[in-house]
Structures are given as C-alpha cells and as structure tokens.
Amino acid sequence: MNPQETALTTSKWRFFINILVFFQCIYCVNCFNTVSTLEDMKKQELKDYSWVVRGSQRKAVLMVMERMMTPTEIYGQAKKVNPNITLNNTSDVLREFKIHEIAECLNPNEKTGRLYALTKKGKKVKEKFDS
C-alpha cells in the first residue's frame, strides 16, 4: 500500500468511528430520556392511585371493575362495597375515570348499554389496590 492509500483508508476508518461515536451519544441521550420518562410514569401512577384512594366511591367502582361492564352492573357490585353509592355517583365516577384515562367507554355512540372497561393505566392502579 502506498502512503496515499493508507491515508485514505485511515480517514475512512476515522469517519466510521466518528459515526459510531455520534450514534452512541444519541443512544445515551435516549437512554436518559427513557429513564426520566419511566420516573414520570411512576409519578403519574402514584398521582392516579392517590386520586382514587381519596374517594370512597372511586375506590368502590375501581375495585369491582374486572371486565367489561355497564354502569348498572358496576353500581350493583359497588353497592356491596360502598352502600352509600348511587347510580348517578357511579356514572359521575366513570366520567371522571374517562378524563383521567383510568377507564374507557367501549361503545360511546350507544345511548343505553354502554360498556366500560379499565385501560392499561386503570389496571396498573387497580393492581396497587390488590397488592
């Protein structure tokens, strides 16, 4: 190999190494962002859990939601947990759960027989109750 070919090969390797270092730095930044996102998620989960715990009606509704259910079914089960809850309270709690993304309405266009189920976030909050 003559000196020009050696210099060219060396510069190609330097370029390649610089690219690797660059992507490694991007990867590290993404790792740090992921960690902070995970911490933020845990903080949000704790906020949601705390919000549910502060309300006896919210607790009762969350405790009985195990599958897709109508508000009447939820009310019937929640009444066993909290005898003071009414059907209107149950509907209000479900509306709040939708806002907080703890539960979702699976058929929102229906006037009667709406089905509600817990979201992933709601299931995580409920897991904290069970543990």
User: Total domain count for the chain?
Assistant: 1
pTM of the model: 0.68
For the chain, give the number of residues: 131
Here the CATH number for the domain that contains residue 18 is: 1.10.10.10
pLDDT for res 8: 47
pLDDT for res 72: 96
Task: Kindly state the percentage of the chain with pLDDT values over 90.
Answer: 56
- CA pair distance 47, 43, nearest whole angstrom: 6
Domain of 7 in residue numbering reads as 3-130
Task: Using the predicted structure, report yes or no on whether residue 92 has a pLDDT greater than 80.
Answer: yes
